[in-house]
Amino acid sequence: MVYSNEGCLRVGQTAPDFSATAVFDQEFKQIKLSDYRGKYVILFFYPLDFTFVCPTEITAFSDRYEDFKNINTEVLGVSVDSEFSHLAWIQSDRKSGGVGDLNYPLVSDIKKEISSAYNVLDPDAGVALRGLFIIDKDGVIQHSTINNLSFGRSVDETLRTLQAIQYVQSHPDEVCPAGWQPGDKTMSPDPVKSKVFFASV
């Protein structure tokens, strides 16, 4: 399958706003992405409820939710399922293939408008690919990644990338090298000053 780049979202662009029904705390709730301005958002798409790789990702993000919350970040999961399917999945035990209670909302994209806006919809399968977007507190996309359907994403790497984004946004005269972790050395984006970093590694 070849996807068109026309209208494709890029980092640095404003994340498309949306309003949709989500399930949180076993209740239906209307949410808007723009309601989260002032916070960072991890927005991730997954194909379907009651599948195989999906629950491993969804529970992993929930188990690490406090790590995100502690750095001013909310998590939103999105699929093309209805809110009723989301609720049934949340009410199913993890040992039975469910996800149990989650620490963040699952959004219903039953009309496929959100996944289309973020260019992650697989039109042949009729589901979203595993797209993940890190949106900053001004609503700007700072990172995006899209996996194919059969393999999941790393919560650790998502958190590390988010921390790097937050660091450089609060330290505009510094950049983070590959694999940077909080507490690691950064460098100056300057031909001369950057040699200080390279000389130390």
* Distance separating alpha carbons of residues 118 and 131, to the nearest angstrom: 8
Residues of the chain with CATH 3.40.30.10: 19-170
* Amino acid, single-letter form, for residue 129: L
Low-confidence ranges of the chain (pLDDT < 50): 1-6
- Residue 97's pLDDT is 79
Q: For the segment 105-133, what is each residue's pLDDT rounded down to a tens digit?
A: 999 999 999 999 999 999 999 999 999 99
Nearest to 33, CA basis, from 45, 23, 42: 42
Q: Cα–Cα distance between 83 and 80 in angstroms, integer?
A: 9
Domain formed by 19-170, architecture:
3-Layer(aba) Sandwich (3.40)
| Integer Cα distance of 169 and 165 in angstroms | 6
- Model confidence over 6-25: pLDDT tens digits? 457 899 999 999 999 999 99
* Cβ–Cβ under 8 Å, residues 155 and 20: no
CB 57 within 8 Å of CB 132: no
Q: What amino acid positions are annotated as catalytic residues?
A: 54
Rounded to whole angstroms, how far apart are CA atoms 145 and 88?
28
The pTM of this model reads: 0.91
pLDDT of residue 7: 55
| DSSP single-letter state for residue 140 | B
State the Cα–Cα distance between residues 201 and 185, nearest whole angstrom.
9
**Structure tokens, 124:** 């042949």
Secondary element (H or E) of residue 43: strand 40-45
